[in-house]
Amino acid sequence: MITRPHDAKLLIIRRSERVRLAPGAYCFPGGGVEDGESEPVALRRELIEELELDVIVGRRVWECVTPTNVDLAWWTANLRDAGAEPRPAPDEVSECHWLTIDEILALPGLIANNVDFLIAVQSGRVRLR
């Protein structure tokens, strides 16, 4: 979860129509952990590959298991360069936006696990800072 501290917006992406899982869906950026990688290393690698963003990984704030039995984790992260803007890799990401939680929840096609996470943030069960 990358936040912009000056306006409390979160980075959200729309997955490319070319990806195998959930094409065209909105979600938070990230991806799979490769053999021998830790979650923080995987997050940093995925953000560089998909958005050309270098981050300082913070802490794990949420986890869940999908209906298809996939373990997911949400981590906080800060941009190394506070002024950096994402440059999507078109095979992975079709769009990216800085949005508030309410704006994200209004997106059509937001992946359900992201809805659950954002509701937990809004209710105070998850703290991003």
Q: Could you tell me the residue ranges of all domains in the chain?
A: 3-123
CATH for 3-123 is 3.90.79.10
Residue type, 113: N
**HSE-CB for 32 with a 13 A CA cutoff:** 5
**Which pLDDT score is estimated for 5?**
64
**9-46 pLDDT tens trace:** 999 999 999 999 899 999 999 999 999 999 999 999 99
- DSSP H stretches of helix in the chain: 39-51, 101-105, 112-123
Write down the pTM of the prediction: 0.91
Whole-number percent of the chain with pLDDT over 70: 98
**53-112 pLDDT tens trace:** 999 999 999 999 988 888 999 999 999 998 899 999 999 999 999 999 999 999 999 999
Residue 129 structure tokens: 């800072």
